[in-house]
Amino acid sequence: MSRILLFGGTGQLGLEFMGMAHDSGHTFFAPNRQLCDIIDQRSVTAVMHEYRPDWVINCAAWTRVDDVEGNPDAAFAINAFGARVVASAAREVGAAVCQVSTDFVFDGSLGRPLTEWDSTNPLSVYGKSKLAGEHEVLGIAERALIVRTAWLFGMQGPNFIRTILQKAFDGGREAGGEQKVAQLSVVSDQYGSPTWTRHLAPVILTLLSRGVWGTYHVVNSGRASWHDVARRAVRAAGLDAEVKAVGTGEYPVRAQRPQFSVLDTAALRLLGEPELPRWEDAVDSYVAQVMAARATATGGGGGIPAWMTGNGGSGAGAVVAKSGGEQGGS
């Protein structure tokens, strides 16, 4: 059993770790921001010395990539300097550090799945700040694990699939309650690796328990566009919605996205670990759980509850609807 200090415990992946704490055999401690601000060296060091973890997992990040684009200092404070603070404090107590990173460190210009050894070239402030965070951890921590992932969705917190289901549900209701076909337009020319946090979290724990260090890509297998994901989610939910494919140019955003950032899990494969399930199967299982939770929360009817809604967040894609759109980072 290992003692794990978790930063970013209120995000999708952090909550996934906390949810599996009992069955994993590990003990987790996730300090809130009031107790421990990731950019405050003094508070991070104090928590590190008090808890004395074996492993530190840093999920904390500012992932709203369009907001980040206009706030580079704040982005680098959280995504890069925060990683420096965590790695430095972890080094003092001899803890290994896992830094969760993103496909946004690539420019997506190669048009093929990207391995851990491909050159990075981030296009956005978000991507640059996350790459800087990788460098901080690799340069400071005695034992450093970088896990790049992408297009996350989980049972807690906002994400692209939840937003799609909400818009499909809301768009399929008239003011008087009469059903209609929801109309959604979703970007179809950006490709990536949709990943369920429930599949990602156990692999991170496996890598830490095996004592392997360096950079690994961990994503569900296969490739998809945001349009592919939206159509799959709507179909899995049994919702009546028309999902129209649109180009990136029809959905202007502040931060540039990599067009083809599908991640190849080459290092994981060479390590002998099995690849994660196909993204289609992950989406189907995830949506089934979301809809089952909705049915329980509403007694089998009514609207989608508040916990299912929300914009932005990790893994959010591009969706255009009457109520607006959103597109975030991984």
Q: For this structure, is 126 an active site residue? A: yes
Give the distance between the most distant pair of CA atoms in the chain: 62
Say which residues have a Cβ less than 8 Å from residue 328's Cβ, sequence separation at least 6.
63, 64, 65, 66, 160, 312, 313, 314, 315, 316, 317
- Spatial distance between the Cα atoms of 219 and 263, rounded to a whole number of angstroms: 7
**Using an 8 Å Cβ cutoff, are 16 and 154 in contact?**
yes
Long-range Cβ contact pairs of 32-38 (< 8 A, separation 24 or more)? 36/7, 38/7, 38/78, 38/82, 38/85, 38/86
Q: Produce one character per residue of 213-227: b if its CB has 16 or more CB atoms within 10 Å, e if not.
A: bebbbbbbbbbbbbb
Residues 11/22, Cβ–Cβ less than 8 Å: no
Which pair of structure tokens corresponds to residue 131? 């790459």
Neighbouring residues of 193: CB distance < 8 A, sequence distance ≥ 6: 103, 149, 150, 151, 219, 220, 221, 222, 223, 224, 261, 262, 263, 279
Q: Choose the catalytic residue: 51, 126, 216, 251.
A: 126
Amino acid in the structure at residue 109: S
Neighbours of 233 (CB within 10 A): 26
Tokens representing 164? 């799609």
- What residues act catalytically? 126
